[in-house]
Structure 1
Amino acid sequence: MTDTIARQPQGIPAGGQFAPTFHSEPAIGLPGNTSPAVPVEFKGSIDLKESEFGRLPELPASVGTPEVTFGFDIDGNLETRVTVDGSTMAFLNDPMADEITNTIESGHSGEDEIAPWSTIASYDDFEKTRTWAESVHERIDGATFGVLADATASTETNKAIIAFATGHGAPAAKLTPQQESAKRAAAVMAVCEEGQGADITMRDLFTDLRHYADAHSIDIYQAMDASLKVYQHEKTDQAFKEGY
């Protein structure tokens, strides 16, 4: 008699399972969306050199260390957000004037009647901070463009994007359960990856799982033994390899 080892259904968290919250993956179709997904896989790296961007302007000591974040708006425009004492100013490119504008100049402070950076009492310090923030925005703009250029330099990536843009993208082939497992593991690895190699990343991932087990009173060795049995079964089970 052969025992069948059942795994938790995909997409349902249980026990110590977890899913990464950010990584480059094809979009998941929602119910009612019949358009096939076109997977675009890419991986690359760029060298950011001080000489290519110039030195940062001086930041006034009275301002401290501003918090900097960035993202893209609905139109795909880069927006750099610089926060000083809890007050945020956003910087973005003005395509009409070919210059960098901000939330004060554009008339959208986003803070009701309180102007951003109102705690900077000195006008000179305010201007120096603005100049510093604009330079930071320029660097982020150049760096993100470099990432885009490198990511799309691949012939396969180009083909996938063109296929999607022209409406000729073929639906992605259905993965077997074994391939789905490897894909989930790759997604977790991608979250943990810090440019240190897959072997080191896997070591650090296992280390983090041990800390997770300690924090949630989970017997890590029992879980590892159980996972080995499941893995050995799935590795030899033909139905699992080929899909149900």
Structure 2
Amino acid sequence: MVRHAARVRRLIGLTGQYASVDEDLTGAENLVLIGRLLDLRGADAKARAARLLEEFGLAEAGERRAGTYSGGMRRRLDLAASLAASLVGRPDVIFLDEPTTGLDPAKREDVWNIIRRLVTDGGTVLLTTQYLDEADALADAISVVDHGKVIAHGTAGELKHIVGGQTVLVRPADAARMGEAAAIIAAVAGRPAESPGRDVVTVPVEGDAAFTEIVRRLDAAGIAVTELSLRLSSLDEVFFTLTGHGTRQEEAACPAPRHSTAPARCWAM
């Protein structure tokens, strides 16, 4: 990075936590400006801007000022700008710092799909996020960072096994039968059931045999359910187990993959 700084800049793209687009320019002008700053000819910069606007679902809004864009549209324009900052093709490594902060669920899913497409197209994405369901949904590898230090690393499945065991969740169709359902799953698991919500009960179990027995007993008791699942611990539960506290703003620093020619993948920290 010190000896070949210019080359490194050609290989990476960066999208910060907050959109860095110029609100007084149109979406197209923002992307053309970046191309021109990187010495692309005017025609080439306009052609690349048009391709990126189309790819990120902004073609119809390309001639509107960025200041009129919604939060989701500005985030998509920011992602497009990070790609436009590569002189030749796509960046090999793309750094995304909390790209979905402040977005509603629909726009968040849009950004997720963009990230998946970046990886499918051969890029490596290094993502920092405080939304651990986001890491679960997107990442091939996850590093858990606490007070600036990596305290665990692995796939989502590997990290979930840190907590150990699985959890059965039951949501009775008739809320009046919650107590009966809780008694059944507690008896099978050999430990008290918990109620994380008004109409749902959960209990940790060891292995899927307990789940099968719970299903049998609920059926025998005539307790209909609207939800019945066996799941691993969530990444939020993993983080709390590892650190003893929830995620925090200052814990979003993490190391990058060692080599830009690594297989296409998404890392989350």
Give the TM-score normalised by the residue count of structure 2: 0.23
In proportion to residue count, which structure has more strand? Answer: 2
Give the TM-score normalised by the residue count of structure 1: 0.25
